[in-house]
Chains A and B, each alone.
Chain A
Amino acid sequence: MKYCKTCKIKVDAPLETCLICSDVLETIDQNPPANDFVEYVEKSNKFEVFFKGLLLLNIMAIVISLSVDFILNRQLSNWSLIVSVSNLYLILFVKLITSHMKFVIRLFWIVLLSILELIAIGYLTNDYYWALDIVMPLSLVFNTILLIIFTFSKRKRWQDYVMFLIISAVASMAAILFPFFDIAKTNWAYIVSFFFGMFTLIGLFIFSPKDMKEEFLRRFHI
């Protein structure tokens, strides 16, 4: 224990000088000072620095490619837009992959992000039907299969995944609107996606009616 003769208070901390008046503390007994707090350690922010660097490089790549393209052609052509879309994809991909969401949920969002990326590149290369007609519906089916496996193989995690499974199944069904409104040209993949989504939802209600009711009560409570 120490004592500050200026402030006339006891100081029970590992200090040599008084925090209040900066005077040197006197030792008044041989009891070691209380060490009740952890010493400050500078936090490591390596990833933050890496991500900011990546962000800066990608913004530079976008700005430079768009500027060069515009200066040379007096308009934006596809190559610079493809570069920009890819840069944006990379930033979001790194952010998602390093986030603290559960692995399955991260995968769910990465698949959705990748679908958008492929459709965007398809549009920019004037050949988007492969992305829209085949990749999108089958990716939605893939996402739904993935979530079914995780939801039912880890019953303890049912509540964690089921809402994503429902969203994925509904999205698989809703995708049928693309061929319906002639946005997509190939039907078979969308029909597979629609029925897969529908049977998934029906399956959920058949296999876990109580859990589904509970989930809706939780999510939609007012």
Chain B
Amino acid sequence: MQKTKYWHRLDNAAKVFPAVSKSGNSNVFRLSFYLTDQINKDLLNEAVNIALKRFQIFNIQLRNGLFWNYFAENKNFFEVELETSNVCEYFKFSKNKGYLFKVYYLNNKITLETFHSLTDGTGALEFLKAITFEYLTLLGVKLDHEGIILTKRPFTNKEDEDSFNANYDPKIKKKLKETKAFKLTGETFDDDWTLVMKVKLNVKDVLKLVKEKYNVTVTEYFTTLIAYNIYKEADLTKDKRPIKIFVPVNLRPYFDSQTLRNFSLYVKANFDTNHKWTFLEMLDLTKQLFTEQLNQMELQMHLGSLVGLERNIFVKFVPLFIKNIFFKIGFQVLGESLNSSSISNLGIIKLPEEMSKYVTDVDFINSGPSLNSALVTYKDQLNFSLNTVFKDISIIRGIIYQLRDDGLDVTINTNYREGYDEIL
């Protein structure tokens, strides 16, 4: 039976976002499915509200407690909207019936934009899969869910678990030491508009390239690609701090978690800008850094440090409004300056076979106050999306040229239209 009254604490990753999110730093990410036909708004509305009944972690609103925020049930009817021009735009929950996500439709595309306090890419993907499945079912399509659509499976408490706390071991932690990173600067677009460049690649070609030519993983290759082009194109003369690429890591496979809430940490690829780099040298270092950081013990220690801080008795009993002031100051001083860029790999999207006939393409777009990128693989295509606030696209140009020079067949799509540089 579904609960109608429920609440839960914010997980470790979710706690900071409500205090530090604002226009221009929305902490919202986007997932889209392209279908074969135009979207029917009314049916999509119905589909979202059906899926919401099953997805307790989305059917919530953010509330203030004395010491921490918490999520409480949301009984409002959710309404989908026509997509807007700004990708991953900051939104006020009070203007969205309290919900922390938005569902948009545009032509044949269903888009889910999720505030990061709610969940990470894995959780959002499950929700979008369920919405699309329910939508197709409402259209009259007979589909077999093959056990991978959550609305067709019974609810388990494991989905609602705070896996950060469930896997916390107070004895295993390390001291986190973060230094500032090289920061991309430049003229930005007006009105918080960001430029999206979607690079479509053949997944077999990419795998052949990374395995046979470079002997690295897809994420290692693209992480290095970004770092190397920042190194080549950005003005490093004034800012000598290292280039740091932030790479989120899904912790579920490492800790056997089924949670739909946030459960990811990150690894970082750091490159000293005083060193003379070649792409291959950078790639070797990325591989080494990933190997060092991507193991159960390292991740457990990292998790321990973050949860340990949250469990500190002084932190616990500081009233929320004071915590929020500290979050804001901390984020202003450090938050935006700890990374040069980010890349998130959602992996391979698996849909029930019959359903996949109706879903032609997938988008995964990340936001942030700099250059952010994301990878997603669906069918035989790997989509690499770059999202930037800067008008100068020389880094993006360098990345695309390098992909082309590595022998890949590159197709690009963008939200840019002629004349935007004059009005934005």
Q: Which A residues form the contact surface with B (CB < 8 A)?
A: 1, 7-17, 19-21, 34-43, 99-101, 156-157, 159, 214, 218-222
Contact = CB atoms under 8 A, between A and B. Distances in A.
B401 A218 contact: no
Nearest to B71: A218
Contacts of A159: 63, 72-73
Contacts of A40: 85, 191, 193, 417, 420, 423-424
Size band of the interface chain B makes with A:
35 or more
Nearest to A21: B397
Interface string B95-118: 100000000001101000000000
Nearest to B311: A222
B266 interface: no
B70 A218 contact: yes
A41 B85 contact: yes
B423 A12 contact: no
A4 to B, nearest CB: 9
A7 B417 contact: no
B276 interface: no
Contact of B94 (A37, A101, A156): A101
Nearest to A158: B5
A38 B393 contact: no
Interface stretch (B39-47, B154-162, B404-412): B404-412
Given A13-B412, A222-B316, A20 B393 contact: yes
B240 interface: no
8 contacts: A19-B393, A20-B412, A36-B109, A37-B85, A38-B415, A100-B92, A218-B72, A222-B67
A219 B423 contact: no
B38 interface: no
Nearest to A4: B412
Nearest to B313: A222
Question: 5 tightest CB-CB pairs across the interface, nearest first?
Answer: A37-B415, A100-B94, A10-B411, A9-B410, A40-B85
Contact of A15 (B67, B107, B400, B418): B418
A23 B218 CA distance: 31
Main secondary structure of the interface of B (DSSP, over half): mixed
A34 B198 CA distance: 11
Contacts of A219: 64-66
Contacts of A101: 94
B7 A218 contact: yes
B72 A220 contact: no
Contacts of A16: 418
Given A38-B106, A159-B72, A222-B316, A19 B416 contact: yes
Contacts of B415: 36-38
A220 B70 CA distance: 10
A13 B67 contact: no
Given A101-B94, A221-B70, A11 B412 contact: yes
B72 A15 contact: no
Contacts, number: 111
B296 interface: no
B321 interface: no
B169 interface: no
B301 interface: no
Contacts of A214: 5, 7
Given A10-B410, A36-B109, A220 B418 contact: no
B95 A100 contact: yes
A192 B198 CA distance: 66
B208 interface: no
Interface in B66-90: 66-68, 70, 72-73, 75, 82-85, 87
B96 to A, nearest CB: 9
Contact of A36 (B85, B191, B413): B413
Given A40-B423, A219-B64, 20 more contacts: A1-B411, A10-B409, A10-B410, A11-B411, A15-B418, A17-B418, A19-B412, A34-B413, A37-B85, A38-B83, A38-B84, A40-B191, A156-B75, A159-B63, A218-B65, A218-B72, A219-B65, A220-B65, A221-B67, A222-B317
Nearest to B94: A100
B176 to A, nearest CB: 23
Given A8-B404, A9-B411, A222 B423 contact: no
Nearest to A157: B75
B400 A7 contact: yes
Nearest to B87: A37
A43 B418 CA distance: 19
Given A40-B424, A220-B66, A9 B316 contact: no
Contacts of A100: 92, 94-95
Contact of A39 (B65, B85, B196, B363): B85
B231 to A, nearest CB: 19
B414 interface: yes
B219 to A, nearest CB: 23
Contacts of B82: 38
B350 interface: no
B9 interface: yes
A34 B87 CA distance: 17
Contacts of B85: 37-41
B55 interface: no
A36 B35 CA distance: 12
A156 B418 CA distance: 49
A25 to B, nearest CB: 11
B390 interface: no
A43 B424 CA distance: 12
B23 to A, nearest CB: 11
A128 to B, nearest CB: 30
Given A36-B109, A159-B72, A12 B200 contact: yes
